[in-house]
Chains A and B, each alone.
Chain A
Amino acid sequence: MRRFYEVFNKLHLLLVIVLVSASVIHVGLHNPRRDPVLYLLVAVGIWILTRIARLATILFHSLRRRGRATEASVISMPGAFLVCVKLSQPWDFRPGQYAYLSFPGLNMYEVFQSHPFFIAWWHRSKDSTNDGDELGKPGPPDTAVFIIQRNDPTNSSTELTKPGVQLREEPCLCYGSRSSSKTKVLIEGPYGTTLNIGSYGTVVMFATGIGIAAQMPYIKQLLKDQDTVQTRRAALYWEIEAESKRFSVLGGRVSTDEENVRSVDGAWVHRWMNELLKTVKRKKVGRILSPILVVLTWLDAGYSDLCPWRI
């Protein structure tokens, strides 16, 4: 389906070029001040300008800075790839942001494909505690983490994780040292606007499967500012399409064992979840982990009496 889309996308572009050039010939170029001609020329101008703007953002993020290039390490996980993009340029992370990714390292054709993905997690260089400058090394880069769905069977190697040229023990900041393959990446962004959910007293979030990628930043932001935001009650309902016996390892205390987690569907975010739950300062923290539904709630004690629903 995806290839189908790509083919038609390119065909669409080609046909539009045919259409516009045919229309320009149709209306005649002899008098460029005539309305239709002018409109068409402006349309062509807009097209060129948007292309240039997109190219400029891609080039900006591809620039090397302090000897560091933008590159992605891809961690293969059940049901999804975790793509950690180490950015050479600083990035102003906010929830709700998404970026277009394309992987030119795979094959040449990939350069012309880019798809939008939500930034599921990030590591800010400012936030990290170990200041590398004392050691003379630059600190960790801004890292954006994307979750990309895979439709293939779990253990088959695909283009992204093909054991080949650049397989290396490259620690991704979020998952310690795990074997991951490194590829070049073109990143275009950030796009997207932030919803100011901190202004609501009660926040309920729903997600299914990979949709958690869009919710994680909001949870992160909400918990980071939990002393200042208006939000008193929050809950996340996350439905996972997973085999129950596999997921049961996550039941109760969320396992930190890498080996267990590796085989669990929906394990992409569990480490971040654990990290976040530790930071909750509210009196009540509820956590229900059932095979198919993960519910995380945090309630303020003062409000819980008024709470009409309890989990």
Chain B
Amino acid sequence: MTRMTKYHKSPQRVVVSLRCFFRRLGSFAPFQASMHSTLYLVHQAALIALRSHHLSLTSSIMDFMNIPRWYAVTFGAIVVAFIICPAVRYLSRVSMYYFLRYLYYPRPKFLRDKSDATRFDVVLFILLLVVNIICSAVGVHNLSQAIRRTGLMTVVNILPLAMGGHMNLLVDRCKIGLRNYQQIHRSIGRVAILEGLAHSIIALINEGLNWHSTSSIAAIVVRKLPRPIIGPPLTDSFLVSIGCIGPLCNATYIPCVLYAPLL
């Protein structure tokens, strides 16, 4: 308590202690959001370290062709910008009022009686979607590449989803609130669903109704499931749509109506 009060006792003090700064910053929502996405960066660093036993870390990062990895790194860069760049820090303090007033608190009219999503959540979702579309489109020249890319992006999006909608220590350390975290969880989930659907639809278009595909889930699941019920080509999309049901199941918070136009 003394720590807190000592700082607030002297508003004249120009040099803000780092601790207080971080405390302020921690409650700043874009920072919270970007902190969440640093998780991407952490995973990515771990993966790079895992994969590049013969290469140095930097040369792996310089692998320009790996778009999904850049997707991850971009998110982390936001955080780095926040911490390193003083201009951003200053702007964040100045724009706090406008941010809270016009982005963080207002709830969009078209969602008002359907969910508790704020404008910020919608913007975050759209941003996530756009970035994901860019990442699954850049450098893709044919359909088989598109299949591979969308599949990979789906899996990348599953990483932060794996922490679940339940609050946990890591997210709490990042000073993300429960409501925000659940919104982010849903947003990423929706994006992952869309990408998974795109993946299976493109695969269906490209390969057609392949009744003898053995390398897909279809074969595995069909071996277990009775053949008359579900045909092999459908199982892939069937499984993805099962995955869609899951996030949709948080029905107490988000009515399915919200997703209907998205899906």
List chain A positions with a Cβ less than 8 A from chain B.
Answer: 1-2, 4-5, 8-9, 11-12, 15-16, 18-20, 22-23, 25-28, 33, 35-36, 38-40, 42-44, 46-47, 50, 53-54, 57, 98, 100, 114, 116, 191-193, 195-196, 198-199, 225, 228-230
Q: In the complex, what residues of B have CB within 8 A of residue A225's CB?
A: 1, 4-5
Chain B residue nearest in CB terms to A5: B252
Known: A23-B155, A42-B46, A46-B163. A229 touches B242 (CB 8 A): no
Check B163–A47 contact: CB distance below 8 A: yes
Check B163–A229 contact: CB distance below 8 A: no
Q: When the two chains form the complex, which single residue of B9, B162, B217 contacts A228, counting CB atoms closer than 8 Å?
A: B9
List chain B positions with a Cβ less than 8 A from chain A.
Answer: 1-2, 4-5, 7-9, 11, 23-24, 26-27, 43, 46-47, 50-51, 68, 151-152, 155-156, 158-159, 161-164, 166-170, 172, 175, 177-178, 215-217, 220-221, 236, 239-240, 242-243, 245-247, 249-252
Check A42–B43 contact: CB distance below 8 A: yes
Q: How far is B160's CA from A47's CA once the two chains are assembled, in angstroms?
A: 9
Check B167–A191 contact: CB distance below 8 A: yes
Check B50–A38 contact: CB distance below 8 A: yes
Check B27–A8 contact: CB distance below 8 A: no
Check B169–A57 contact: CB distance below 8 A: yes
- 25 interchain pairs (CB within 8 A)? A1-B252, A5-B251, A8-B249, A11-B245, A15-B242, A15-B243, A16-B246, A19-B242, A22-B217, A22-B221, A23-B155, A26-B217, A43-B155, A43-B162, A46-B162, A47-B162, A47-B164, A50-B163, A57-B169, A193-B27, A193-B175, A193-B177, A196-B8, A229-B5, A230-B9
Interface of B is mostly: helix
Chain B residue nearest in CB terms to A39: B155
Check A8–B167 contact: CB distance below 8 A: no
Chain A residue nearest in CB terms to B159: A43
- What distance in Å separates the Cβ of A276 from its nearest Cβ neighbour in chain B? 17
- What distance in Å separates the Cβ of B224 from its nearest Cβ neighbour in chain A? 11
Q: How far is B220's CA from A283's CA once the two chains are assembled, in angstroms?
A: 76
- What distance in Å separates the Cβ of A246 from its nearest Cβ neighbour in chain B? 30
**Number of residue pairs spanning A and B whose beta carbons lie under 8 angstroms apart:** 141
Q: When the two chains form the complex, which single residue of A8, A15, A36, A46 contacts B155, counting CB atoms closer than 8 Å?
A: A36
Q: How far is B243's CA from A35's CA once the two chains are assembled, in angstroms?
A: 21
Q: When the two chains form the complex, which single residue of A33, A47, A191, A230 contacts B8, counting CB atoms closer than 8 Å?
A: A230
Chain B residue nearest in CB terms to A200: B8
Max chain B Cβ within 10 angstroms of own Cβ: one of A12, A18, A20, A225: A12
Chain B residue nearest in CB terms to A14: B246
Check B166–A54 contact: CB distance below 8 A: yes
Check B178–A98 contact: CB distance below 8 A: yes
- Minimum-distance CB pairs A-B, first 8: A8-B249, A228-B5, A43-B162, A19-B243, A15-B246, A5-B252, A26-B217, A46-B162
Q: When the two chains form the complex, which single residue of B1, B158, B178, B245 contacts A191, counting CB atoms closer than 8 Å?
A: B178
- What distance in Å separates the Cβ of A58 from its nearest Cβ neighbour in chain B? 12
Check A53–B5 contact: CB distance below 8 A: no
- What distance in Å separates the Cβ of B211 from its nearest Cβ neighbour in chain A? 17
Q: When the two chains form the complex, which single residue of A11, A33, A98, A116 contacts B249, counting CB atoms closer than 8 Å?
A: A11
- What distance in Å separates the Cβ of B186 from its nearest Cβ neighbour in chain A? 11
- What distance in Å separates the Cβ of B242 from its nearest Cβ neighbour in chain A? 5
Q: How far is B122's CA from A182's CA once the two chains are assembled, in angstroms?
A: 44
Q: In the complex, what residues of B have CB within 8 A of residue A230's CB?
A: 8-9, 11
Q: How far is B47's CA from A56's CA once the two chains are assembled, in angstroms?
A: 26
Q: In the complex, what residues of B have CB within 8 A of residue A16's CB?
A: 243, 246
Known: A42-B46, A42-B47, A191-B172. A18 touches B217 (CB 8 A): no
Check A23–B217 contact: CB distance below 8 A: yes
